[in-house]
Amino acid sequence: MSFWDHLEALRGTIWRSVLGVLLASVAFLCFPKALFKAVLWPTQADFPLYRLPGVGFSMELINIELSAQFFVYLKVSVLCGLVVAFPYVIWEIWKFVAPALYENEKKAVRGAFSLSSALFYLGVAVGYFVVLPVCLMFFVNFSVSDAIVNTISLSSYMSLFTSMVFLIGILFEFPSVILALSSIGVISRSQLKGWRKYAIVVVLILAALITPSDPFSMFVLAIPLYGLFELSVLLCKK
To the nearest 10°, report the CA torsion of 143, 73, 23, 89. Answer: -20
Is the separation of the CB atoms in 62 and 152 below 8 Å? yes
Assess whether pLDDT exceeds 90 at residue 195: no
In this prediction the pTM is 0.83
pLDDT tens per residue, range 21-76? 999 999 999 998 999 999 999 999 999 999 988 888 989 899 888 888 899 999 99
> Region 118-144: what's the mean pLDDT?
87
Measured CA to CA, the distance from residue 125 to residue 130 in angstroms comes to: 8
pLDDT tens per residue, range 75-104? 999 999 999 999 999 888 888 887 877 777
| Mean pLDDT across the chain | 85
pLDDT tens per residue, range 138-179? 888 877 777 888 888 998 899 889 888 888 888 888 888 888
Q: Which helix (H) or strand (E) holds 153?
A: strand 152-153
Assess whether pLDDT exceeds 90 at residue 194: no
Is the separation of the CB atoms in 115 and 94 below 8 Å? no
Widest distance between CA atoms in the chain: 68
